[in-house]
């Protein structure tokens, strides 16, 4: 088994430890590629010098190159910063070419964990203090007391990942699991809201599925069956919608049919004496992903229709 030890700063760690999120963005200020380990592999956090300790980690899901604003919109506080301005300031601190909205590297981790200081682990004996980004380790090599302790930690965290309803075939279609990945733990991992947004945006080609609008700051990933009502973070339970349409969809003033037509409730006009721009959408066909496997699921559509405020 390969695993990766990455270098980070203590402020990023402390921010995320206070939140204890499942999903985190381990970002880098430049959009360099990351292919050190396959999806499902352990990814551990080591603090900057002089703190040579492993303080937490997670399991690698996917690497994205994203604009700063897209990373913030998708992951928010799970970027390990308090707000967008702080995020931009930290990014530009490491960049010679300052930018308002730079492209950055985003290594997305799930099932993350953050250790109390008394449980921090020493780095392996062969760790080079000159390492800036990180280092790959192999569980069959570099055997020493420190790496054995890290493997014990990794196995403990794997055992704590709860089993999910999705089976491997479902998840493979959703997140494109490579054959060489650690499928067992990816099938158990819980996909977060940030990754859900990115995959839904990608499948709908970064455009509103009802209007075709492409202005990303006003577009949002919507659950057909709400997450709060046990709707899963699956592409076939998602639509990419303009923010006002998302709100109306969540309030059941707008829905979609099994043949992917848009329906707009007459109650918009009855209750607000307005709504022409929304009635213009009534009866139009939804814009769909290229892959039919990612089309909105009829079971989620039926659920949404049962709540429709027609």
| Interval 129-179: pLDDT, tens | 889 899 999 988 777 788 999 999 999 998 887 655 443 444 444 445 555
In CATH, what is the architecture of 2-188?
Roll (2.30)
Q: Is 297 exposed, middle or buried (0-12, 13-18, 19+ CB in 10 A)?
A: middle
Dump the DSSP string for 229-247. Answer: GT--S-GGGEEEEEHHHHH
> Does residue 206 contact residue 214 with C-beta atoms inside 8 Å?
yes
> What local confidence, expressed as pLDDT, does residue 171 receive?
46
Cα–Cα distance measured from residue 65 to residue 277, given in angstroms and rounded to the nearest whole number:
35
Q: Are 289 and 204 in contact (CB under 8 A)?
A: yes
Residue 48 near residue 7 (C-beta atoms within 8 A): yes
Residue 302: CB atoms within 10 A of its CB come to 13
What pLDDT shows up at residue 184? Answer: 45
**Range(s) for CATH 2.30.130.30 in the chain?**
2-188
pTM of the model: 0.83
How much is the pLDDT for 191? 67
What's the rounded Cα separation, in Å, for the pair 277 and 169? 40
What size, in residues, is the chain?
310
* pLDDT value of residue 159: 82
Tens-of-pLDDT digits for all 310 residues of the chain? 899 999 999 999 999 999 999 999 999 998 888 989 988 899 999 999 888 999 999 999 889 999 999 999 999 999 999 999 999 999 999 888 888 999 999 999 988 999 999 999 999 988 988 898 999 999 887 777 889 999 999 999 988 876 554 434 444 444 455 555 554 445 445 568 898 899 899 999 999 999 999 999 899 999 999 988 888 888 899 999 999 999 999 999 999 999 999 999 999 999 999 999 999 999 999 999 988 989 999 999 999 999 998 8
Task: Please name which of 177, 198, 195, 199 lies closest in space to residue 187, comparing C-alpha atoms.
Answer: 177
> Is residue 126 a contact partner of residue 145, using CB atoms and an 8 Å limit?
no
């Amino acid at each position: 088994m390969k695993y990766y030890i990455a270098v980070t700063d203590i402020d990023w760690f402390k921010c995320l430890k206070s939140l204890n999120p499942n999903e985190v963005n381990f970002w880098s200020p430049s959009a360099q590629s990351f292919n050190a380990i396959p999806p499902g592999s352990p990814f551990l956090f080591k603090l900057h010098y002089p703190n040579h300790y492993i303080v937490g980690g997670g399991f690698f899901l996917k690497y994205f190159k994203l604009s700063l604003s897209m990373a913030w919109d998708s992951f928010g506080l799970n970027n390990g910063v308090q707000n967008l301005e702080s995020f931009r300031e930290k990014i530009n601190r490491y960049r010679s070419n300052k930018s308002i909205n730079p492209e950055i590297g985003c290594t997305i981790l799930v099932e993350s964990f953050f250790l109390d200081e008394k449980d921090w682990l020493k780095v392996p004996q062969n760790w080079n203090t000159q390492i800036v980004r990180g280092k790959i380790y192999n569980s069959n090599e570099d055997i020493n007391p420190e790496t054995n302790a890290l493997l014990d930690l990794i196995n403990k965290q794997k055992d704590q990942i709860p089993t999910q309803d999705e089976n491997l075939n479902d998840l493979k279609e959703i997140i494109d699991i490579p054959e060489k990945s650690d499928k067992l733990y990816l099938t158990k991992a819980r996909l977060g809201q940030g990754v859900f947004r990115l995959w839904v945006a990608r499948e709908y080609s970064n455009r509103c599925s009802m209007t075709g609008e492409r202005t990303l700051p006003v577009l949002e990933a919507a659950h057909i069956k709400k997450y709060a009502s046990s709707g899963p973070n699956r592409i076939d339970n998602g639509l990419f919608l303009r923010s006002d349409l998302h709100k109306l969809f969540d309030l059941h003033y707008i829905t979609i049919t099994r043949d992917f037509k848009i329906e707009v409730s007459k109650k918009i006009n009855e209750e607000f004496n307005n709504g022409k721009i929304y009635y213009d959408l009534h009866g139009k066909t939804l814009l769909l992903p290229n892959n039919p496997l990612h089309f909105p699921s009829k079971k989620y559509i039926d659920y949404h229709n049962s709540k429709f405020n027609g």
